[in-house]
Structure 1
């Protein structure tokens, strides 16, 4: 079981050592901005390291939307980040499932996802595997509730798309963690990465606020059970800096033995 944390991009390998982590995840650009990532100064070291690397795409990316002013730049930025992620040896590029606006047809948003992969496939596909992540909120989200996730996978599954399961997002989104791995795999056939996060908020709240394992509203045994059942690499995206994340990693590693 490869376990690690979301860290600052300045020194991912140093951050991994401080947390006793085998995996790191980081942003390559402002997560709330549209600027393309710059070359990472430690790209060579990251590619040559035995630490597994994942990159998280900016939150602003929403390829599902019917708004051309957001969808078209989102497609371009996703391709750009996948290319940049390859330069640091990333095993996956995580991107949120996106949403359509109130009153818009979700089926069109899901087809926009299909078109995103179809367009990329025409030029050889994404340089780094794309992992779609389930999200916590939004009544018009593509990957919050698993009935919509199933519709999304019917549209994009043929493109060998990966999936990232976030435990906080599932809990906040109204999906019970009990047997969640079986339910996800029945839809996607795979889980490529788990974001093992507790939630500060109640089940079904729709609020995306992470907490350290055992400190929030989720029974940590349910998180541990999901991690064990998935067999996937794990990233904690929890607060508390080095100490908080190191404790979360130790909890998961101890439970996995």
Structure 2
């Protein structure tokens, strides 16, 4: 069965809270930060409800999960205090990950800031050597994440990851987290040539190093180097592009983690689309939501067909408009899903008394296209 889940919060009762949230989305796996991703403050391990969380995981058939290191960790920094914080904290986070019972901790490799890429690669390798040497008593791997190419971050190319791995002595404990939005934004054509992208990765790094895949659509065209995630089907990659990665034979045993943004008209109504995204990619949307869900998606198709809106073309044209025309962007900054939602509400297309979340879930079904609907 496809192991697909989402990034979930890790607060209050730690692993127990995280597992309950993951279960509510129908997750088969999930990813956690052991505290806030923006800082290094952490609760004692005994306060994380680990036994209770594992018991609930087992009851719901959830086995392998993933930890993500906080964004503040930067092994590529030339500033000694920043570098030292990264090395020392990462050692403790690996030990914490080991105590939770997780095998892979995802890490943004780092940024070279005022130096250059060559310096950044060497500095990151230096830090990884120190961290891995100090944590030999654990079996935790560091999963270097593929990056989008914004700023001075390292990991925007498979070559950069390979260069880091080559310089690390204990590189048997280095794995990779492949992010669909990031590699798309870095210039890899996973929509038109996913086989070629995976072949290139295998030649340079090795497919056996992929430990986890982050599943995100992108608000930017291929090669933009921006790193802005979009709900599945509402970005430049599209549902079919994402499904081509998630369903690829060479990746079938990997855990897939959604990091798609929460959406909603107001802050109080913002909700993640994880439940619908998981069900659609896993192929059990009808079982999860009932036949009425598919009937509503068909109704949405019928409405937009009448007004001449084809989902894929509409999404791409809308992103082109709001990216290339400053005046248009200022006058109407709404993203594709929000514009489509407003049309549905104005015309009262759906007769049910649905929440904003339920309508957006059905819109995701529409954005997946006719082929997805007809395949069910």
CA contact (8 A) 1:172 1:202 kept: yes
Quote the offset at 1:119 in angstroms.
1.9
The residue that corresponds to 1:230 in the other structure is 251
CA 1:12–1:224: 2 relative to 1, 3 Å:
same
SS in 1 for 2:130: helix
CA 1:78–1:216: 2 relative to 1, 3 Å:
same
Matches within 5 A, 1:212-227: 212-227=231-246
- Deviation string 1:89-108 (CA, Å, 9 cap, x unpaired) is 22311111212024x23223
CA contact (8 A) 1:4 1:24 kept: yes
CA contact (8 A) 1:110 1:151 kept: yes
Relative to total residues, which structure has the larger helix share, 1 or 2?
2
Report whether the alignment pairs 1:167 with 2:180: yes
CA contact (8 A) 2:132 2:170 kept: no
Structure with larger RCO (C-alpha < 8 A, sep 6+): 1
CA contact (8 A) 2:69 2:106 kept: yes
Deviates more, 1:235-244 or 1:25-34: 235-244
The residue that corresponds to 1:137 in the other structure is 149
The residue that corresponds to 1:194 in the other structure is 213
The residue that corresponds to 2:229 in the other structure is 210
Matches within 5 A, 1:74-113: 74-102=86-114, 104-113=115-124
The residue that corresponds to 1:152 in the other structure is 164
The residue that corresponds to 2:282 in the other structure is 253
CA 1:118–1:243: 2 relative to 1, 3 Å:
closer
CA contact (8 A) 2:97 2:105 kept: yes
Mapped partners of 2:91, 2:217: distance in 1: 31
SS in 1 for 2:166: helix
TM-score, structure 1 normalization:
0.89
- Deviation string 1:37-61 (CA, Å, 9 cap, x unpaired) is 5425221133443323211110011
Q: Answer with 1 or 2: which has the greater Rg.
A: 2
The residue that corresponds to 1:45 in the other structure is 52
Query: How many residues end up aligned between the 2 structures?
Result: 255
Quote the offset at 1:139 in angstroms.
5.1
Stretches of structure 1 that go unaligned for 5 or more consecutive residues are: none
- Deviation string 1:148-201 (CA, Å, 9 cap, x unpaired) is 223223223851201000001111222221232222222221211000110122
Mapped partners of 2:243, 2:168: distance in 1: 29
The residue that corresponds to 2:199 in the other structure is 182
Quote the offset at 1:210 in angstroms.
1.2
Mapped partners of 2:53, 2:118: distance in 1: 39
CA 1:82–1:44: 2 relative to 1, 3 Å:
same
SS in 1 for 2:65: strand
CA 1:242–1:45: 2 relative to 1, 3 Å:
farther
RMSD: 2.3
Mapped partners of 1:225, 1:153: distance in 2: 27
